[in-house]
Structure 1
Amino acid sequence: MTAHLSRPLALTASAAALALLLGACASGEADAADLTPGGDQKDLTIAIHNGWDEGIAASYLWQAILADEGYEVELETADPGIVYTGIAGGDFDVNFDMWLPVTHADYLEKYGDDLEQLGSWYDDARLTIAVNEDSPLVTIADLATQGDVVDNRLVGIEPGAGLTRITKDEVIPTYGLEDLDFVESSTPAMLAELSGAIDADRNIAVTLWRPHWAYDAFPLRDLEDPEGTLGEAENIEMVGRTGFGEDYPELASWLAQFTLTSDELFTLENLMFNENGGDDNEGSAAQWLEENPEFVTTLKAAADKA
């Protein structure tokens, strides 16, 4: 005997089927709404090393680029250790300031299995010990024999920075600077002290790095490092969380072509931190892009050809 659904039951079944269909369509629309036209996830969190100006500049530059492409970008600032722990744990998506092969090598060794290396955008980054241009000090070794010139102080940056670790583990023991007061502070505090010393015509020694706008703002000179404790020129690389390339295929292709020349980086940093005083980084990045209208077009064209 053939079974027949009663009319009320048949209507109920049809309504359920329609609800499932509409739900599937709504889900598909929601999923599509979460993607960019290029198929990337829209939401992106960029992690920035606290006080590292080149990384701040690159991060705000990419925030401006991606905002124009329909991404929703959030910026988070923290010390490098927290940044790489967060990326490895999936709390952040990408960082633009991993210095290799030396400065951040310990983080890559520790978290490398949970990171995706996305390419290098700058290839002449250097760690330095800098002094005022007219300082009598010539080499880092002079800090051991003429430390009184700088009040027996070396002004550093954040405790979690690779530069701080290398200064403590390599520079100080190699050159016998244990009697020097190595001040671990922050990049803004170091720059404030540097500015004050230059204005007062007072000798000072600070941990610094190239590229940095301070070399244009102040008359500085790097101390020679005959023992090579600060390493050779390094690359500044981008690193993402596991699955970054899968979730952001178009962006990953753009990042693979991203580079800044020294002049480009200098003009961006100078605009952001000198002319605008670091008070409007979003506006500074947008202004730089307006003044360099071919930058994004050229980058995208290179990605399309790759």
Structure 2
Amino acid sequence: MKKTLFILITILVSIAMYGCSSNGDSEDTGDEDKPTLSFGVTNWTSTIPPTKIASKILEDMGYKVKETNADAGSVYTGLANGDLDIFMDSWYPAQRQYIEKYSDSIESISVSYDDANSGMVVPKYMEDINDVADLKGNEDIVNNEMFAIGAGDPAMQDMKKVIDFYNLDIEMTNSSEAAMLAAAEGKMEEEEPVLFYGWRPHSMFDKYDLKILSNKKATAEKGLFDKSTIHIIANKGLEEKAPKAYKFLSNWSISMEDMEEMIAKIDNGKDPDDVTQAWIDNHQDKIDKMKNGK
């Protein structure tokens, strides 16, 4: 009888200890206990591949995932107030003001790639225009106009500073990315001079022979449009909310070459889910390292 009672007590204690252990780490109890993770998604082509890839991997890890489409300002606001958890396409220093503004509630948890670039773009057949300073006195060759993305984008605020820094007689025509590219493409199809905003990674560099103008003086003196690093930004509550997801994203990295290849395929009509799944299928070793630590 005593032996039977001892066995029963041992079993009950073991169950109690297992219950306490399970409640202490909900992510180990099963997929149903894992939280839903919300991604902020801008309409930039560079946001789609990393968001899709990370979402698929996190779903495979047992998380539910949802995406919220918004402009950059709204994405950062959502991250700051906790409505969003993750943003896969934060450009630094172009978007530094958001990171600084919300530094109490958001954080950079990894660098996706560090060789991105952005700025004024012209076709390579404009052989005499290679630096922003070359536009001074030659603004009329582009009809004193620069096609650009939405005026509310942080990069456009810095672009206005560049124009003012060189005292260029140029007005920005702001619109969506698609409208900007359509206007620029119309000019390039006729091999006319054109000035517009561009960045890498982007399929525009796969489709056309383009160059980002160097910006030596303004970069040296003001730090405007220096090379960019692309960060993964998260709400500071993510580590506590989803520690395994946080660990995975903390080890995240992807090459700009892979990014441009995927963007080009998507722009050419391939399904983003198929394109990003192919990347996942071909990079399982890399993904395992990101999940488990480098």
Provide closer, same or farther for how the CA distance between residues 85 and 233 of structure 1 changes in structure 2, counting only shifts above 3 A.
same
Task: Give yes or no for the alignment of 1:75 onto 2:80.
Answer: no
| Contact 1:116–1:241 (CA under 8 A) maintained in structure 2 | yes
Q: Which residue number corresponds to residue 118 of structure 1?
A: 109
Task: Give yes or no for the alignment of 1:105 onto 2:96.
Answer: yes
Q: What CA RMSD, in Å, does the superposition of the two structures yield over aligned residues?
A: 2.5
- Secondary structure of 1:112 counterpart: coil
Q: Which residue number corresponds to residue 118 of structure 2?
A: 127
Write the letter of the residue equivalent to 2:229.
N
Unaligned runs of 5+ in 2: 1-18
Write the letter of the residue equivalent to 2:252.
F
Write the letter of the residue equivalent to 2:188.
I
1:139-162 deviations in Å (ceiling 9; x for gaps): 212333111211211111122212
Task: Tell me the percent identity.
Answer: 28
Give the drift of 1:75: 1.1
The range that moved more, 292-301 or 251-260, is 292-301
Provide closer, same or farther for how the CA distance between residues 215 and 275 of structure 1 changes in structure 2, counting only shifts above 3 A.
same
Give the drift of 1:293: 4.0
Q: Which residue number corresponds to residue 269 of structure 1?
A: 263
Provide closer, same or farther for how the CA distance between residues 35 and 162 of structure 1 changes in structure 2, counting only shifts above 3 A.
farther
| Contact 1:132–1:221 (CA under 8 A) maintained in structure 2 | yes
1:160-194 deviations in Å (ceiling 9; x for gaps): 212111001x20111112x3121111111112222
Provide closer, same or farther for how the CA distance between residues 259 and 130 of structure 1 changes in structure 2, counting only shifts above 3 A.
same
Q: Which residue number corresponds to residue 181 of structure 1?
A: 171
Q: Matched residues in 2 for 1:35 and 1:41: separation?
A: 9
Q: Which residue number corresponds to residue 82 of structure 2?
A: 90
Provide closer, same or farther for how the CA distance between residues 124 and 248 of structure 1 changes in structure 2, counting only shifts above 3 A.
same
Give the drift of 1:35: 7.7
Give the drift of 1:204: 0.9
| Contact 1:194–1:206 (CA under 8 A) maintained in structure 2 | yes
| Contact 2:149–2:156 (CA under 8 A) maintained in structure 1 | yes
Write the letter of the residue equivalent to 2:287.
V
Question: Runs of 4+ in structure 1 displaced over 6 angstroms?
Answer: none
Provide closer, same or farther for how the CA distance between residues 200 and 292 of structure 1 changes in structure 2, counting only shifts above 3 A.
farther
- Secondary structure of 1:113 counterpart: coil
Q: Matched residues in 2 for 1:198 and 1:158: separation?
A: 21
Q: Which residue number corresponds to residue 247 of structure 2?
A: 253
The range that moved more, 61-70 or 211-220, is 61-70
Q: Which residue number corresponds to residue 222 of structure 1?
A: 212
- Secondary structure of 2:110 counterpart: strand
Q: Matched residues in 2 for 1:154 and 1:232: separation?
A: 19
Write the letter of the residue equivalent to 2:42.
H
Task: Give yes or no for the alignment of 1:54 onto 2:46.
Answer: yes
Task: Give yes or no for the alignment of 1:42 onto 2:32.
Answer: no
| Contact 1:36–1:42 (CA under 8 A) maintained in structure 2 | no
| Contact 1:254–1:299 (CA under 8 A) maintained in structure 2 | yes
Aligned residues: 268
Provide closer, same or farther for how the CA distance between residues 224 and 116 of structure 1 changes in structure 2, counting only shifts above 3 A.
closer
| Contact 2:116–2:256 (CA under 8 A) maintained in structure 1 | no
Q: Which residue number corresponds to residue 144 of structure 2?
A: 152
Q: Matched residues in 1 for 2:85 and 2:33: separation?
A: 13
TM-score, normalised on structure 2?
Answer: 0.83
Q: Which residue number corresponds to residue 6 of structure 2?
A: none
Q: Matched residues in 2 for 1:108 and 1:222: separation?
A: 25
1:236-277 deviations in Å (ceiling 9; x for gaps): 11111131111110011111111112222222222222352x
Give the drift of 1:49: 2.3
Unaligned runs of 5+ in 1: 1-24
Write the letter of the residue equivalent to 2:36.
D
Write the letter of the residue equivalent to 1:263.
E
